Amino acid sequence: MKFKEIKLQQVAGFKSQWPKDELCEIAFVGRSNVGKSTFINTFLNRKNLAKTSSKPGKTRTINFYNIDNKFRLVDLPGYGYAKVSKAEKDKWDKLINEYLHLRENLKEVFLLVDIRHEPTDLDLQMYEWIIESGFTGFIIATKYDKISKGNLQKHKNQIMKKLNIEDDGLIFVYSSETGHNIDVINEQVEVIINS
Ligand SMILES: Nc1nc2c(ncn2[C@@H]2O[C@H](COP(=O)(O)OP(=O)(O)OP(=O)(O)O)[C@@H](O)[C@H]2O)c(=O)[nH]1
Ligand SMILES: [Mg+2]
């Protein structure tokens, strides 16, 4: 699937700011700094569309990217960032949870995890919610360029074990540096929006 017109349609700090049309949406969730915003940039082949940072806690609003008026990709704040005030953390958690629980346009949710690390309890909690809510349970394991290829299975196993995943076809190993698997994810997204 090729993309022509991509725009940041809406930045929402409140529910009242969510787009009101009926386009379907695919959301990306995960810990702060896992690479959600970077994924959106590389996936859409637009370098600085979504703001990214080497420091966690960059995305603080819900950002809706409109693709050819056909569907939207949704970038959310991350969770699990320890060095942020309780008030700020509560605000982000509310934004994330409200969106995930109430958004009728939401068609699929991808959970991003850093391939180097064992998923956290918060990741597990999020993944269980994703499955219970009837979403497929796709995982994007980011930063593949940071491990040696020989260790791939070990890292995949670590993710599968922690998140109780049996089908490793649900895991897309990914790198924004090399674009590894970007075409496969593109095809999957196309299937989702046409389903
Ligand atoms: N090497 C490498 N770095 C990556 C990859 N994906 C993201 N990064 C880096 O990880 C850092 C965090 O990326 P972001 O996209 O801002 O992460 P985020 O999940 O949006 O973070 P929050 O907005 O804070 O929740 C940045 O320095 C990115 O360049 C990847 O696949 N490989
Ligand atoms: Mg971000």
Residue nearest to atom 10 of ligand 1 (CA): 35
Residue 111's contacts (CB-CB under 8 Å, 6 or more residues apart) are 29, 30, 123, 126, 127, 130, 137, 138, 139, 140
pLDDT of residue 84: 85
Residues of the chain with pLDDT under 50: none
Ligand 1 neighbourhood includes 58 CB (under 6 angstroms):
yes
Residue 60 CB neighbour total at 10 angstroms: 16
Record the pTM. 0.97
Domain boundaries, the chain: 6-194
Q: Note the pLDDT tens digit of each residue in 42-54.
A: 999 998 999 999 9
pLDDT of residue 83: 85
End-to-end Cα spacing for the chain: 14
Residue nearest to atom 7 of ligand 1 (CA): 35
- State the CATH architecture for 6-194: 3-Layer(aba) Sandwich (3.40)
pLDDT of residue 4: 95
